[in-house]
Structure 1
């Protein structure tokens, strides 16, 4: 089995944690990045169960200094081996927003974490990416302008729409190295963000997303897919 080096952001819970579990299960080496590694109990237990194959590192996606620190640490924990897969999963969602009461601070937080964060982190980690690597930006159909039919979660929707543009730009920038960059909608998933009434389990969503990523070609770079591989409009 070929062992790949993978980095997952927002890895302490929800989809990020499930990505870590499934990547470890298939034999990969995983770097799990989150804001407070010392409090990431499940991740640290997994690290004990997979000695040498899971490293838990700090990352504050809204802080570019944290991106630089992570980029400096990655070669140390991969023995200078490049990253084959980067999953930009970390995100923030402000629920319950109403028109007329949308707060500037929530818009700022969404742009910093949901859009600028993945873009700047990918830029910082670009020297560590293998030729032909894959970058997966976990987006949302809520960020699709074409699909919007209601006023809902504006700060999140605008942040994800901006993230989708970042996906397109990164695909152009990294194409000469054969690196594929895609936006992925994970479906409505039962996580802290998705809520208990959501249709999908994290296991189902992540398994589907990894199936989408496995056969990805450079011709598909810069596109937007759901967890079943169906293309979504921008």
Structure 2
């Protein structure tokens, strides 16, 4: 990996996405931060003043192919390539109960959590440098091996699908030594994780970045947790 990485983070306006942006900027990297509504991303926009020339905030709805096309068109204006792609954008419909799960929740979840990362990576593949990293932010809820109760079904199904996306992308990009990872960040204190979660955003990001930084081609396509341990599929 180069000393200054060229990075793109989706869902960067809050939570883990914003945490990734802050961490990457602090270590001197150049970052393209995407979110659906940049004008509302107050914390993200404030960082542009603190890091002039190294942070570009760009609109992206990962569930909209036209938005992905627009990103690809704009990308050469802000960078000459990518060393790290973090597919972080995600959606969780809370409070789902068996017997009343709406079909629309599956549509939303699969489009954002599984189809989105695939299409974004596919579209950006020509811009990925040899040896680049693609980090797909997954969840233990997407692991059938760790399933212990009925909870958040549309999120769980979409994250399981995203794990297959990781495996497929790993095969597609292996010839260029691009390493694609599915990463379980653990239970993190975000809007999605809640205030009782085990880890702070900073703790989670530092741990995840260590896993990303130390990954080798032998790790391509693996499902790992924040400690670098294998997660059962």
TM-score by length of 1: 0.98
The structural deviation recorded for 1:122 is 0.3
Task: Say whether the 8 Å CA contact 1:88–1:136 is kept in structure 2.
Answer: yes
Equivalent residue runs for 1:1-234 within 5 Å: 2-78=3-79, 81-234=80-233
Task: Say whether the 8 Å CA contact 1:71–1:128 is kept in structure 2.
Answer: no
Give the root-mean-square deviation of aligned CA atoms: 0.8
Task: Say whether the 8 Å CA contact 1:11–1:20 is kept in structure 2.
Answer: yes
Q: Which segments of structure 1 move beyond 4 Å, counting only runs of 4 or more?
A: none
Q: 2-side partners of 1:71 and 1:134: how far apart? A: 18
Aligned residues: 232
The structural deviation recorded for 1:2 is 1.5
The structural deviation recorded for 1:104 is 0.3
The structural deviation recorded for 1:82 is 1.0
**Equivalent position SS for 1:146:** helix
Q: 2-side partners of 1:127 and 1:97: how far apart? A: 39
Gaps of 5+ in 2: none
Q: Deviations over 1:66-119 (max 9, x none)?
A: 1111111111101xx210000000000011111111110001100000000000
**Equivalent position SS for 2:19:** helix
